[in-house]
Amino acid sequence: MSTLPNWASLYLQRLQLDHKSPNLSYLSELCRAHLQTFPYENVSKLLFFRDGKHEVPTPEEYVHNAIHYNFGGTCYTSNHSFLALLRTLGFFGQLILPGGGHAAILIDGPNTGKTPVYVDTGATAPIFEPIHFLEEGNHTRPFGTVSMELTKSPDHPEHYRFTRYENGKVAIPPWDFHPNERKELSDLSEVIRSSFLPDAFFLNRLHIHRFQLEQDRFVVLKNNTLHIGYSDGTDQITPLHTISDIEAAVADEMQLPLLPVREAVEILLERGIDIFSAPKKKEVPLENEALDPPTIC
């Protein structure tokens, strides 16, 4: 195996995994570790917006930010850097854009089988291993009250559909994609630009999500509400009343003590958004709350 660039070595150290030959089993290890290590969060996006950095971090920046600030990111950031790591490790793949606004990954053989596999570290979904979605079988992935499935699209021949469920109900509008419509980051400039517009979904709230499989649970912070969900369907909902409460929950429950949530809350306040008194609205784990046009993450 060739020597990895420094950022990729640090990436693997962060994931607590060794450098191995590319195969399906190793890809599964990488997916599972990534979802537990790098949070889905918009704290970094709020800070980037404040600082005028309206672009996706490089893989080098992604790893540096994780080490020093506990950053992860939303779908563009996490899946772009994860794909860069996978390519460096010898996998072959590209980005896709389900629903026109969500970035995911398709990895091709020969290392992972005869058909492409779907990989996604940026959907807050329990995709702990790659999915051979073109093959026959059940492509539903459940975890407690949350699940996702990949099926043939009933509306578009040769397209496939990502659907997310919460408590057995469709949680967000389904995303359709064609497996041959591959993308690079440069192809996403317009949707990335849209995600930094002032009214974009994740510039107007606080959202952090992390899987903790060693505790058989996920932890979600939406504004000032902490939600802990277990694989048996048990849920624990806790309202938080101060920024200090949020900092403590993020440090203790989420194990992200370096994540600068106070700065994020203050940025929202400066923009006229008080997460402790804002009226409750239907939450969707994406960046654009509008159901049409496609959601942006």
**Distance of alpha carbon 170 from alpha carbon 152, whole angstroms:** 16
Helix 261-270, helix 43-50: angle, nearest 10: 50
Using a cut of 0.75, tell me whether the model's pTM lies above it.
yes
Query: What pLDDT does residue 279 have?
Result: 55
pLDDT at residue 149, rounded to an integer:
97
How much is the CA Rg of the chain, to the nearest whole Å?
A: 18
Decide: 56 and 192 in contact? Cβ < 8 Å.
yes
Is the Cα dihedral 193, 194, 196, 198 positive or negative? positive
Helix axes 243-252, 261-270, angle to 10 degrees: 150
Task: Write out residues in the chain with pLDDT < 50, as ranges.
Answer: 281-296
Place of tokens 């660039």: 5
Q: What is the pLDDT of residue 2?
A: 78
